[in-house]
Structure 1
Amino acid sequence: MRQWSILLNKEILEMWRSFKWIWVPMTFILLGMMDPLTSYYMPQILDAVGDLPEGTIIEIPTPSAQEVLMMTVNQFNIMGVLVIVLLTMGLISAERKSGVAGMILVKPVSVAYYVTAKWTGALLLLLLSYFLGFLASWYYVGILFEPIPFGDFFIVFMLYGIWLIFVLTVSLFFNAMLKSPGAVAFTSLSVIIILNLVGGLLSHWLKWSPSQLSVYAGSFLTLGELPDEITGTVLISFILIVMLLIFSVFIFRKKELAT
């Protein structure tokens, strides 16, 4: 485990040097603040930039606090997922392409330690950024609309967080498979988009798909209760995350031994 902790500390230090511990949380915080602020001030924004005739009255139905918080989840499901993929597209593939990974693994370094340390470092950054961004949204929703109980906030945070962890692990898997960071980003985004589309079109048959977690989080916010499928969905999501990690280690080891 000492070897693994050294690799993890190296990963965390590299993220500090590249300022990822600053710009990634700031990006999520801005995404989290965006929907509460724009939803509340939309009439004033339209009045200021809409170039409307004098005397025009703008009446926009005020969304509920739950709807605004769900807008943030949808924002994370688009821009947040994109940030995660762009952040991790060179997690392993860039080091493989530059030869750094080969230099590290020439030493008696476990491939499993190397891959899981990369995943854990990215996971810590993701969870911190996601928590701060979602917390900012929850705070402004409470200030501008009405308070949402912290318990509800935490349940939605956990449910959607599992989906983001799944996205991160998918990106890691393609990092282990492909050498080009661009190919990793394209393939990862394609898989995530397909999962979302298929999950939306075939929701009756894919009730336990990880892509349904954001849907169930929204259902909990609006209805105040979780669907019966939530336990199976969470369980399958964790199983898929573990399987993707195992396959990532296996594929990466096989490819490194072949080179």
Structure 2
Amino acid sequence: MRGMTAFLKKEFCEMIRTYKILILGSVFFLLGVIGPLTAKYMPEIMEQFLPQGMTLALEAPKALDSWMQFFKNVPQMGLIIVVIVFSGMMASEWSKGTLVLVLTKGLARRSVIMAKFLTATLLWSGAYWLCFGISYGYTRFFWDERTPRLGAAAAFVWLFGVMLIAVTLLGGVLFRGSYTVLLFTGFLVVMMFIINILPSAQKYNPIMLVSSSMELLEGIKRIEDFMAPTLITGGLLIASLIGSAAIFDKKQL
């Protein structure tokens, strides 16, 4: 347990030293601010670019427009940044040879996997919920409206991000290069989009957690509709962690 705690401290120190905390914090802070501001002022900005004398009939912005920006920006930009930032969490250990030192001192290999996963998950969670909190604050400031099922929609996106971290960690155990890890994780996501073409597979596809958020907020889908993809996402997360630990146990350093 002491070895695990020491390795966790080492991971957090490395996150600070390599500016990963600063990068994720800055990116998600900006995403949290940009969404509500874009929804609020985009109609006015568009009017400025119209030819003189021409008018454009636009609906007054509302809270749902702000959350549409949030649930578009975070999956399309935020999660990509997360995968890029964490794609080297094992590659750097392979290249520096630091794992040999900690493992020869008695640290269990599974503890390395769990420490890497916990550190990345805590960093993702902090950045994500910071972004959500900023968006929520600005949205309530501009529009005093309550959005039903908002917490559930946000939690589904968070869970998908945790699953991506576990998959990225698995890629880091399988391959020694960060670019290969990116290809591995990207391939999985692309396969989800391809599978989503099949109507019968859509209700089970984990990609639904990040692609159907607005349908949930608008009442087109119910929370119950997300239960199957949530369970499958959780299964992929656990399978990735178990696979990472099992493969790393047999991996030659």
Give your verdict on TM over 0.5.
Answer: yes
More displaced 10-residue stretch of structure 1: 123-132 or 134-143: 134-143
Amino acid at match of 2:53: G
Check the 8 A contact 1:216/1:227 in 2, yes or no. Answer: no
Displacement after TM superposition at 1:169 (Å) = 1.0
Provide the residue aligned with 2:139 in structure 1: 141
Provide the residue aligned with 1:73 in structure 2: 71
C-alpha separation between the residues in 2 aligned to 1:206 and 1:43?
34
In the alignment, does 2:120 pair up with 1:100? no
Amino acid at match of 1:185: L
Displacement after TM superposition at 1:173 (Å) = 0.8
Provide the residue aligned with 1:220 in structure 2: 216
Counterparts in 2 of 1:20-169, with a 5 A limit? 20-48=20-48, 50=49, 52-149=50-147, 152-169=149-166
Provide the residue aligned with 1:242 in structure 2: 238
**What do residues 100-141 of structure 1 show as CA deviations (whole Å, max 9, x unaligned)?**
223322321111000110010010000000001112122222
C-alpha separation between the residues in 2 aligned to 1:232 and 1:57?
46
C-alpha separation between the residues in 2 aligned to 1:68 and 1:197?
29
DSSP-derived class of the 2:124 partner: helix
DSSP-derived class of the 1:36 partner: helix
Counterparts in 2 of 1:171-250, with a 5 A limit? 171-199=168-196, 201-223=197-219, 226-250=222-246
TM-score (norm 1): 0.88
DSSP-derived class of the 1:56 partner: coil
Check the 8 A contact 1:156/1:217 in 2, yes or no. Answer: yes
C-alpha separation between the residues in 2 aligned to 1:155 and 1:114?
32
RMSD: 2.1
Displacement after TM superposition at 1:246 (Å) = 0.6
Amino acid at match of 1:209: N
More displaced 10-residue stretch of structure 1: 125-134 or 39-48: 39-48
User: Stretches of 4+ moved more than 3 A in 1?
Assistant: none
Check the 8 A contact 1:208/1:229 in 2, yes or no. Answer: no
TM-score (norm 2): 0.90
More displaced 10-residue stretch of structure 1: 203-212 or 103-112: 203-212
Displacement after TM superposition at 1:47 (Å) = 4.2
* Structure 1 unaligned regions, length at least 5: none
Displacement after TM superposition at 1:46 (Å) = 2.9
* Structure 2 unaligned regions, length at least 5: none
Identity of aligned residues (%): 25
Check the 8 A contact 2:192/2:207 in 1, yes or no. Answer: yes
